[in-house]
Amino acid sequence: MAARRGRIAHRWRHRVRRFAITALFLAVATGLWHFQERELRDGLSWQGVTTWEDLTPLTFHRVLRNDGFLVGWSDVRVNPLWVSYLLQRVDDPSSGPRPGFRRDWRALWPISTESYFGSGYDRGHLAPNYAIAAVHGRGAQRDTFLMSNMSPQRPELNRRLWQRLEEVVMDHFVPRFAALQVITGPIFPARFQDNVLNRVGLVEVPQAFYKILVVPGDEPRALAFIMPQRVSGDEPLDDFLVSIDEVEARTGLDFLPQLAPASAEALEARVDTAGWGLEAVARLPGRF
DNA sequence: TTTATTGT
């Protein structure tokens, strides 16, 4: 009897030890994973990864990490709320052929490439094909064609005004400053119920789009734009300048959250175009 | 194809 009780106690000690070792291993592994994931995200986003100002169902999102850029994905809007990427000067910028649009299985909803057919909207890249391909390579280029990087854009915006802005970023601002942090995304009407049925397939249609450009460094510069869906496409780019604070007010997001409060105040509250040479490129004609 | 769908 005593011998049997001893055997049971021994078996339980064995089980407890095995459980403790497994738990310790899991804790270390998840700790390492989180550490590594944070390092990787920080490397893709200067002064912190975009987050929400107030957590509501309309600002909640999860971060999808791609090759070369991050996506703040909302399962409520069925849209990226923001994408974030760094561009550096490269010697011989070029991109391969367009790889074709692909479903992203990390998005909760089925967003097929066909849902845009006949909708009157383009599948508009948020992280752009050309700039990402030229700076981050072929694998990153492929990731820009995931449907989780798309938002419905009117053709006159996507192919003309927005395209001109992306071209100016890559051909003028990146060479000028050597590096640029870009954060871009959609803007929705203030009241969710006004727009809830305005969708392409499951994807809610934004009313406008923002793009924030930041020159990283000790004395950062920033430029921000908000462009509405309905444009002719030939407008001067500087017609659409806004402050970062205005983009935050319209999106409920907090950009550059790690920036020291004094720098944030100076950078985000004003529209300051000094040093960008924007006037010289604001009226360049479109490519298409 | 530094944009993309429509229609040939």
Q: Distance between the two ends of chain A, CA-based, in angstroms?
A: 89
Q: Are residues A90 and A78 in the same domain?
A: yes
Q: Are residues A57 and A91 in the same domain?
A: yes
pTM, full prediction: 0.93
Q: Are residues A73 and A184 in the same domain?
A: yes
Q: Which of residues 111-130 of A touch strand B (CB under 7 A)?
A: 116-120, 122-125, 128-130
What is the DSSP track for A78-136? TEEEEEEEEEE--SS---------B--TTSSS---GGGGTTSS-EEEESS-HHHHHHHH
Q: Is residue A1's pLDDT more than 70? A: no
Q: Is the Cβ atom of A18 within 7 Å of strand B at any atom?
A: no
Q: Are residues A223 and A107 in the same domain?
A: yes
pLDDT tens for each residue of A7-22: 888 999 999 999 999 9
**Is A136 an annotated catalytic residue?**
no
Query: What CATH number did the domain enclosing A73 receive?
Result: 3.40.570.10
CA distance linking residue A204 with residue A239, whole number of Å: 26
Q: Are residues A93 and A1 in the same domain?
A: no
Q: Is the Cβ atom of A95 within 7 Å of strand B at any atom?
A: yes
Report the percentage of chain A scoring pLDDT > 90: 93
Q: Measuring CA to CA, which residue among A163, A177, A99 is closest to residue A131?
A: A163
CA distance linking residue A34 with residue A28, whole number of Å: 10
- Within 8 A by CB and 6+ apart from A141, the residues are A95, A96, A99, A129, A132, A133
Number of domains comprising chain A = 2
Residue carrying the six token digits 């003309």: A160
What pairs with residue A243 in β-bridges? Answer: none
Annotated binding-site residue numbers of A for Mg(2+)? 158
Q: Which of A34, A61, A125, A136 is catalytic?
A: A125
- Which of A70-74, A205-209, A264-268 shows the lowest per-residue confidence on average (mean pLDDT)? A264-268
What is the predicted pLDDT for the residue at A275?
96
What is the DSSP track for A11-29? HHHHHHHHHHHHHHHHHHH
- Has residue A285 been placed in a domain? no
Q: Are residues A251 and A183 in the same domain?
A: yes
Q: Are residues A5 and A124 in the same domain?
A: no
Q: Measuring CA to CA, which residue among A221, A227, A235, A236 is closest to residue A268?
A: A221
CA A50 to chain centre: 8
- Has residue A138 been placed in a domain? yes
Residue carrying the six token digits 């100002």: A53
Q: Are A188 and A77 in contact (CB under 8 A)?
A: yes
pLDDT tens for each residue of A147-193: 999 999 999 999 999 999 999 999 999 999 999 999 999 999 999 99
- Has residue A103 been placed in a domain? yes
- Has residue A287 been placed in a domain? no
Q: Are residues A22 and A77 in the same domain?
A: no
Q: Are residues A124 and A39 in the same domain?
A: no
- Has residue A167 been placed in a domain? yes
Q: Which residue is nearest to nucleotide B5 (CA to C1')?
A: A122
Q: Is the Cβ atom of A142 within 7 Å of strand B at any atom?
A: no
Q: Are residues A171 and A262 in the same domain?
A: yes
Distance between the alpha carbon (CA) of A227 and the C1' atom of B3, Å: 16
Question: Which bases on strand B have an atom closer than 7 Å to a protein beta carbon?
Answer: 1-6
Q: Which residue is nearest to nucleotide B6 (CA to C1')?
A: A118
- Has residue A8 been placed in a domain? yes
Domain that holds residue A84: 47-280
- Tell me the two tokens of residue A216: 């990283």
Q: Are residues A36 and A126 in the same domain?
A: no
